[in-house]
Copies of this chain bind each other. A is one copy, B any other.
Amino acid sequence: MAVTIYDIARLSGVSIATISRVVNGNPNVSDKTRERVLSIMKEYDYTPNPFARSLQFNSMKMVGISCSDISDDYMANMVSIIEKRLHEYGYDYMLFCSGYDLNSREHAVNLLLKKKMDALILIGSQFLGNGQEEEVSYLHKVAKNVPIFIINGALEDPNIYSVIADDYKSMYDAAKKLIESGRRKILFLYDSDSVSSMQKMGGYEKALKEAGIPIDGNLKIKITCKVHEERDLLLLRKDLEFDAVLTTTDKLAIGVIKYAKAKKLDIPKDISVVGYNNSYLSEYIEPELTSVDPSAKKMAKTVVDNIMKLLKGDEIEHRITVEGNLIKRCTTDF
């Protein structure tokens, strides 16, 4: 139905080899022939069949991207930047949102593998599960067939590459700031046991230790529910005393803001709050949220640039760390 290379060949009075050459910019075509073919191609609105090309090249010029949920602000932003960069290289992508448990992540990655993507980008350290050998074995297996780029997670493997935010340091810096501004009872809220969450917790603890503040297990709370439930949960914990909160995501920080509002506490006076990711939310919410900017833009671009280098045959680093920085807004008084 659609016009093929044979049609154009017939119409131009040359062989399909020649058509292929002009399509692919091969210089071994006379100007006269090239022009004629080009004009016929335009006239008949010819587009090479991408499936046939893929079969030849064994590539669709596509990368597979998986993240837990595209309606998450942070992921969406990341994907958005990656896409733009990919397009600059003439690449497209297939997105596969995996959901939040490890099994479905594995499922997503395996499906992407079957699609013969040129490379895989996994966004979030949760793709590593708890990081134990057993939970990451699927990645080693997949990496035998396609290079994997993990954003925010690292795994030792010849075909796995990582771009990592320095969450440990960022959280350490944030906690230190809080302490310097006089806060002593800092609540740490996290929403998963991912490697990245643990890094953040590590940074938090280090800052406390340095300041001689004992680490109180009660002040580290894992919260996986929605913002309103988080607020209510906090309201119920009347035993809890804190004058500041560090959270591993901006969303968690919003729950805290709602809690403060319900208790008529003043932010940042009674409670200081620092979120994480510096998402749009942090600017929209009132009061506007102080948040760690993990430099998503830089990470996303680095990933794509590295993929292209690798596909070109260049050597690339297996692990790149990107520093974040704290964006001060109205939920802190430093």
Q: A residues touching B (Cβ–Cβ < 8 Å)? A: 2, 47, 49-52, 54-55, 58, 60, 62, 69-71, 73, 76-77, 79-80, 83-84, 92-97, 113-116, 145, 227-228, 251, 254, 257-258, 261, 280-281, 283-286
Closest chain B residue, CB of each to CB of A69 = B80
> How many monomers of this chain does the complex have?
2
Least Cβ–Cβ distance between A313 and chain B, in angstroms = 16
Closest chain B residue, CB of each to CB of A228 = B283
A73, A76, A227, most chain B CB atoms within 10 A: A76
Closest chain B residue, CB of each to CB of A83 = B97
Q: Which of B69, B70, B73, B286 contacts A285 (CB 8 A)?
A: B286
Contacts of A258 in B (CB 8 A): 286
- Whether A71 contacts B76 by the Cβ 8 Å rule is yes
- Whether B54 contacts A83 by the Cβ 8 Å rule is no
Closest chain B residue, CB of each to CB of A145 = B2
**18 A-B pairs, CB-CB below 8 angstroms?**
A47-B114, A50-B114, A50-B116, A51-B58, A51-B116, A70-B76, A70-B79, A70-B80, A71-B80, A71-B280, A80-B97, A83-B95, A92-B94, A95-B95, A281-B281, A284-B284, A284-B285, A286-B286
- Whether A52 contacts B55 by the Cβ 8 Å rule is yes
Least Cβ–Cβ distance between A277 and chain B, in angstroms = 12
